[in-house]
Amino acid sequence: MSDQISTEDKKRIQEEEEAMAHDIAVSLRAFDKERTSLIPILQMIQEKYHYLSLAAIKLVADHLDAAPCEIYGVATFYNQFRFNPPGKHQIKVCLGTACHVKGGGIILENFERKLGIRYGETTPDREFSIDRVACVGCCALAPVAIVDEKVQGHMAPSKVEGLLLGYQIEKDKEERARQKNGSSKE
C-alpha cells in the first residue's frame, strides 16, 4: 500500500496530522489523567478524525504517562479503531451470519477487486475505503452493503459495479466543471 502513495500525498498527510495533533492536545485537557479515560479518549479522537494517527497515540501516551506501545497495544486490540485515514466514500460490507449465507463474501470480493484494495485499506487517491462489519440488523435485505451510511440491500456483483460507476461519473462531472471554471477564468 505505502509504495503507492506519492511523496506529494505523504507531505499532505503529514501536514494534516500536524494540524490534528495540535487540536488533539487541546481536547485532551478535558480528560482525567487516569487509565480509565483511555478508551473514551481514543473514541473521541476516532470520532473527530476517523482514525488514530501515530502522533495522536504519542500524545495520548504523554497525557496518561504511559508508553506509546502500551497505548497502541490497547488500541489495536479493539476493532473500532483504525490507523489509516478512511476514504471519502466509506464502503462497509456486512458479513453477519445472514449475509454470509446469502453471499456477502462475494460482494466484499467484488468491491475489493474493483477498487484494487483489501478490506481495512483505502485507495491511494483516498476516494474509497472498504471495511467489513458484523450484522447491521436488516437480515431480510441480505446481502447488504453500507455506502456512505446508506444501506444498499439485496446486493449483487453487478450492483457493485453500478454503485462505483455512479461515483466515478459524479467525480468526472465535478472534474469537468472545475476545468471549465478554471479555463473561463483565464
The site for another protein (CB under 8 A) is made up of 34-40, 42-43, 73-74, 77-81, 95-98, 100-101, 103, 106, 109-110, 113-114, 133-142, 144, 151, 153, 156-158, 160-161
Length of the chain: 186
Between CA 104 and CA 100 the distance in angstroms is: 5
Q: How far is CA 25 from CA 29, 60, 70, in A?
A: 7, 8, 19
CB 54 within 8 A of CB 92: no
Distance in Å, CB of 29 to another protein, minimum: 18
C-beta of 12 vs 35, nearer to another protein: 35
Distance in Å, CB of 110 to another protein, minimum: 6
Give the cell for residue 125. 487517491
Distance in Å, CB of 77 to another protein, minimum: 4
Distance in Å, CB of 123 to another protein, minimum: 18
C-beta of 81 vs 128, nearer to another protein: 81
> φ, ψ for residue 33 (rounded to 5)?
-85, 50
